[in-house]
Amino acid sequence: MPTRRLLALVEFDGTEFEGFQIQKRRRTVQGELERALFQVTGDHVRVVGAGRTDTGVHAAGLGVHFDTAWKQTPPVLLRALNAVLPNDVAILRVVEVPPDFSARYSAKSRAYRYTILNQSVRSPLAERYALLVPELLDAAAMDAAARCLIGQHDFGAFGTPPRGDNTVREMYAAQVRRDGGRVLVDLEANAFLYRMVRRIVGTLLLVGKGVLSISGFRDVLEKKRRAGDSVPPHGLCLIAVKYEE
């Protein structure tokens, strides 16, 4: 039976997931998506994601592709999947794509945001999705340091490659800004190393606290000194995976 390839944009709260990639006896986003597709289409469909988010990391727009012989239109499939998916996963959009399209390899960039709750009093409502840092951070200094990341660099100081040994990536945008009681770290690159964003944020926090200078941050990038510790995953969200129209 002929199949077609579809791209779905997925939003999920990663708190209760062991990451995206399917694992035996552990709850994952890929596992929930494939379970829902089987329930709707009756076929065992393999889902391919644009990336493999870590345990506890959230997503506002993760791209996944899959092949299906189901004959209904993408809007019908969108409604059917959302009807059977658990409350912490939702499909935002489904579109048909060419047979050679890949959610992973056709992606032009990935954009992440790390949210820091920078206030002296904790917030039970906000802390599910943000890291509480009571000490006042110098967001301007963090932003100046983050801009050192823009361009093509060896980011091996901040992470490890998911496969192989190539640690060179191209950072398209890097910004830190204050939004009321929050400090937002936004990074967009062609691809990221394992735990790269979380270790970059951990190092930027040292800058924000006055422990590390901007030139010291540049030294970390150049592997002249050690990076900061990786921050917890719950403040991290994959904002978007960008493709050609």
Q: Which helix (H) or strand (E) holds 139?
A: helix 139-146
Task: Please provide the DSSP assignment of 124-143 as one string.
Answer: TTTTTSSEE--SPP-HHHHH
Which one of 54, 88, 100, 143 is the catalytic residue? Answer: 54
| DSSP classification of residue 222 | T
CA distance 85 to 66: 16
Largest CA-CA distance found in the chain, in angstroms, rounded: 62
Burial of 73 (0-12, 13-18, 19+ CB in 10 A): exposed
Q: Which residues pair with residue 97 across a beta bridge?
A: 5
Annotation says 138 is catalytic: no
CA-to-CA distance for 70 and 67, rounded, in angstroms? 9
Q: Which residues are catalytic?
A: 54
